[in-house]
Amino acid sequence: MLQFGSDSKIATLPSGIRISYRIFPGKSKVPLFCVHGLTGNLKNFEPIAQGLSKKGITVIVYDLRGRGNSDKPKEEYSARVHAQDLKELSSILGYSKISILSHSLGAWITLRFAEKFASFLEKAVLIDGGGELSIKRKISNLLMIQGSLARLGRRIPSKEIYLQEAKKSPLLSAWNTNIQNFLLYELELVGTLSTSLMPGDTFYGPVLCSIPPFVIDSELKNMGGAMKPAGIIARIFKDPKEFFKTLKENKVMPYSALHCPVLVIRALKPNFKAGDELLPSTAIEKMKEKIKNLKVYELTDKNHYESVLLEDKDRDQEIFKFLRS
- Supply the pLDDT for residue 27: 94
- Supply the pLDDT for residue 121: 98
- Residues 307, 310: Cα–Cα separation, whole Å: 6
**Segments making up each domain of the chain, as ranges:** 9-324
Strand partners, 10: 20
- Residue 238, classified by CB atoms within 10 Å of its CB into exposed (0-12), middle (13-18) or buried (19+), is exposed
- Supply the pLDDT for residue 238: 79
Fold of the domain built from segment(s) 9-324: Rossmann fold (3.40.50)
- Supply the pLDDT for residue 225: 73
- Supply the pLDDT for residue 144: 78
Running along the chain, 325 residues long, what does each successive block of 10 average in pLDDT?
Answer: 60 97 95 97 96 97 97 96 98 97 97 97 97 81 80 88 92 94 91 54 74 93 76 74 74 92 97 91 96 97 96 98 96
- Supply the pLDDT for residue 41: 97
- Supply the pLDDT for residue 2: 41
Q: What is the side-by-side strand order in the sheet with 294-299?
A: 9-12, 18-24, 59-62, 32-35, 98-103, 121-127, 262-267, 294-299
